[in-house]
Amino acid sequence: MSNTPDNLKYTKSHEWVRDEGDGTVSVGITDHAQELLGDLVFVELPEVGTQLTAGDECAVVESVKAASDVYSPLDGEVTEANEALADSPEAINEAPYDNWIFRLRLSNPAQLDELLDAEAYAALAEED
């Protein structure tokens, strides 16, 4: 059974979002997503400064089974990309919620309310 912390928000496409409380959020992929993908071997990060709209493809996580797009959960500008993941993609497998992939400065913070809560996401993951 995968882990779905209560303090995070989620998307149907298996990203998690942590509100940093200063107009920015951290984004990663869920425990369920890393479990489905298996051992990650490569992470492609977005460039800092990129303007994203919710639903845009902005990163790629690749395992020996599959390469999968990561979608921006919200509108905003990329302020930071987790460069450490380039050398150690396995960190996402080991601790998916400690290893964010990129950070966004939100241009439309109200969108946060449209994301799934832990309970709704866990129910969705269970169906998979």
Using CB under 8 A as the criterion, which residues of the chain lie in contact with another protein when the complex forms? 36, 39, 41-42, 64-66, 68, 89-90, 128
Q: Between residues 39 and 117, which has the closer beta carbon with respect to another protein?
A: 39
Q: Between residues 42 and 48, which has the closer beta carbon with respect to another protein?
A: 42
Q: Between residues 87 and 98, which has the closer beta carbon with respect to another protein?
A: 87
Q: Between residues 36 and 124, which has the closer beta carbon with respect to another protein?
A: 36
Shortest CB 93 distance to another protein, Å? 10
- CA distance readout (Å), 89 to 22, 67, 84: 27, 13, 8
Shortest CB 19 distance to another protein, Å? 28
Long-range residue pairs from 46-49, CB within 8 A, at least 24 positions apart, any chain: 46/78, 46/81, 46/102, 47/78, 47/81, 48/78, 48/79, 48/80, 48/81, 49/77, 49/78
Shortest CB 70 distance to another protein, Å? 14
Question: Tokens at residue 48, please?
Answer: 């800092």
Shortest CB 57 distance to another protein, Å? 9
